[in-house]
Structure 1
Amino acid sequence: MSEDIKTRAINYLNCTLGDMHEGEQLNFVCLDTTCKEMGLICPVCRSQKHAKHKVIPLKIFLADISNNVNGKQNQNSIDQLLTQIDQVRTKLLSSLKDTVQKMVLQIKLLEDQINLSHKNTRQRLLEQNQTQMNFPQIFQQILNSQYKNVDQLKQDVRKIIDNVSQLQAGKIEIDFKPQRLFDQYQKASQEAIAQFNHLLTQFKQSTSKISKPIEKFTQPLQAQNSPNFTFSTVLKSPSITITEQKNAHQTANQNSENRFILIEPQILESCKIAIKITHLTNFIGIGIAYKNVLSLKNMKFDHQNLGHGSYMISSNAHTWSHSKKEENMVQKSFTFTTGDIIIVDVSLENKTLKFTCKNKPNDTQAIVLTFDNPDNDDIHFCINMCSSGEKVEILDDWE
Structure 2
Amino acid sequence: MNILKQTQKQETQSQETICQIHNLDLIAVDLDLSDQAQIKFFCGKCLVDKINNNKLTTIEQSKERIQQIKGQQQDIKIKENQARLNYYKNILDQIMDFKRFVDDTLEKMYKQIQQYMYPIQKEKQELQEYEYQLNYFEDIRNLSELYSQDEQKSQKLIQDINFIDEIQRQFELLFTSSEYFQTLDTFKNTRETIKDIMENNIIELLPLLITKNDSKTPSLSRICFNHKKEIIMIDMDSQNKNIEDRFVCVDCISENPLIKYQTIENVNKQWKEYSSESEKKLQKYKKENRVKKLELLNQIAQMRKNYNKKLNEISEKLIVEQYLCLNKTKESNQIKKNSIQTLNDQQLLKDLTQLIENQNGKEVESQIQIMTNLKNKDGNFKKDIEYHLESLKQYDQQDIQQSLDILKENSIQKTLILKLSGQIEQFKTYQQTEQNQKDQIILIKELQEFIDSANQCEYQLNLFHQIISIYQQHVQKIEQIQQNISLKQKDLVNNQEQPNFYDLNLSKIFNEYVNSFHNNSNQLKKYCNIQQLEKDLIKLAESNTNLEIDKNNQINSMQQQFNQELIDINGKLKQMEIECKNAKEQFEQATQEIINLKYLQEQEKIKIIRQSEEKQNQLRQEFSQKISEKELKLQEVTLKLEEIYKNKLQEDKLKKFELEEYQKSLTFSKTLKHNNCLLSDGGKVISEIINDGNSYYCFCNQAIPKTRKIQFAFQILSGSKFRFGIGLKDIVQKNNYMNCFQFGYGAYFIDESGKTCSHHIKDEHDKNLSFKFQPNDIIIIEVCIEQKFIKFSRLNYPEITVLQIDTAQELYPCLGGINFKIKIMDKVPVQLS
Normalization by structure 2: what TM-score? 0.21
More strand by share: 1
Higher helix share: 2
| Largest Rg, 1 or 2 | 2
